[in-house]
Amino acid sequence: MINFKENEELNTLNHSCAHLMAQAVKHLYPNAKFWVGPVVEEGFYYDIDLGDDVIRDEDLDKIEKEMKKCAKDAKKIVRHEITKEEALEMFKDDEYKIDLISRMDDHEQVISCYTQGDFTDLCRGPHVDNTKLCRYFKLLKHSGAYWKGDENNKVLQRIYGVCLPTQEELEAHLADLEEAKLRDHRRLGKELEIFMFSDVVGAGLPMWLPNGFTMRRLLSDYIMYKELAQGYVHVMTPSVVSTKLYKISGHLEHYKDDMFPIMERDGNEFCLRPMNCPEHMMMYKSKLHSYRDLPVRIAEIANDFRFEAGGALTGIERSRAFTQNDSHIFCRPDQIAQEIKNVTQLILDVYGDFGFTQYSFRLSLRDKENTEKYFGNDELWERSEAQLREVLKEMNVPYYEAEGEAAFYGPKIDVQVRSALGHDVTLSTIQLDYQLPERFELEYVDSDGNKVRPVVIHRAILGSIDRFVAFILEETKGNLPLWLAPTQIVVLPVSPEAHKEYAEHVVEELRKNHFRVTLDDRNEKLGYRVREAQTEKIPVELVVGEKEMEEKGVTVRRYGSKEETKMSFDEFLANAIDETNRKAL
């Protein structure tokens, strides 16, 4: 997916196309007034006050036709510079532009606007040379949007669009958008009954249906066994904690805006936790450790809560209640490099198991121009950043650096993926932290008998299990591997009456071997039941009829394939057990 906001050429082109759309809208709706028309990752949009008119789907075609007329004229797009007083006079009848101009700094004496034919709009620019360069466009959708994002303000009409340099590029991009719709985890989650949302329950608070809970359980078991093999111990901590804990950690000071409101009871303050680090610090502190005990690796499948902005909520990719595959490694300074290497290798192993190939490692550094929002001194930060950089280089892991993406207590390695919706999201993370051990006064006894501070490595392999499920659904289009599918096998008797007894025997044997299997013996034609199993994306269909019953066999059909394979039931069972144990893709 293209990021139109970051690509300088496409950014300028799409901003110019937003003006082209506004010009066309003004022709069709002479009383239209315009708020803002920015370029976003997906293209552009414009917020418009149409008075009593409301944009409908069929109106987009009408606007597109007018845009094509405007583009065909190839009007020059001309920049004008005017004073603030002149701007106020020019747009005196437009309350939206007056609002923008009035909020400009008084020292900003020169204001720019752009004119193309009969349309002029306030704008910083830049723009392309003429309107004909914007002729390869598509209006994608429309919605309502509160003016300034404030629900107390008027609802404006927001129209989204996209513009590319050529017709071929536009068609390719539109094809990508259609593919993205098929992969959208929100659509798949609803179709496959993985999760649901309810306004009555609350925005951004997912409810996991039986199929989804099965996936979560399987993923939790999968990663916990991986962690046990590497010496982790698993714990459980409360989701509601005293604010005292977050005052010590600094989260209340640095993270309060992203947390749910504080609750007060009997003179005490409590909060829903946004992460698990402080609780694990207290667990480590509950007893004295020797240098021989380290590293101590504490892991948890933990429920966390963050009050994400309403506009940022995206299904289970970004929600307000989620579950983290979290861990904190308490180690000596001489153990840092090896522990980070171990975690990095674990990430690579997990991604290999799931067949992930499209991801990138990002070294997230602090913003050197805004150091007051971070804990610690320059020396500690430089040392921490250098240590992470050195590990990535030693392991020959390709990475890029991003200033301003560090946690407030330390730098981190983030593994970034691109969602089907075009969002750049973090799946896994490794964070190096010298600060929280200091704030919590953590200690261990070194080889000389002195009490010294450990270093903490925060790490999440699956990251948010919710986001991980979203990414898996999008990567596979819901065609899940046998080991992870909520329903692995459906048994279909050719005749629901004549072959039911044998079908029930097959189901019983599969369940004895821990397969998640259903029997579809409804009084419907076999073809209908086969098609329904395909719609539900069940990995394996077993058809049993007269011949299968006589030979103690099954006819196997895999999701997405029309091929059928006949084999003995024992052979199928052995193959299915092997495929599940290997977690084959």
Any idea which residues carry the catalytic annotation?
Answer: 277, 306, 324, 326, 328, 412, 458
d(CA 352, CA 350): 5
**Helix locations, 103-162, DSSP H:** none
**Burial classification of residue 15, based on how many CB atoms lie within 10 Å of its CB (0-12 exposed, 13-18 middle, 19 or more buried):** buried
Output the furthest CA–CA distance in the chain (Å, rounded). 93
- What is the full DSSP assignment across 282-294? HHHHTS--BTTT-
d(CA 543, CA 314): 39
d(CA 514, CA 508): 10
Token reading at 300: 């948890």
Say if CB 321 and CB 303 are below 8 A apart.
Answer: yes
d(CA 467, CA 107): 46
Handedness of CA 320, 322, 325, 330 (dihedral sign): positive
Token reading at 468: 């991980």
Between the alpha carbon of residue 380 and those of residues 67, 249, 311, 439, 555, the distances in Å are 56, 18, 36, 15, 64
d(CA 152, CA 428): 38
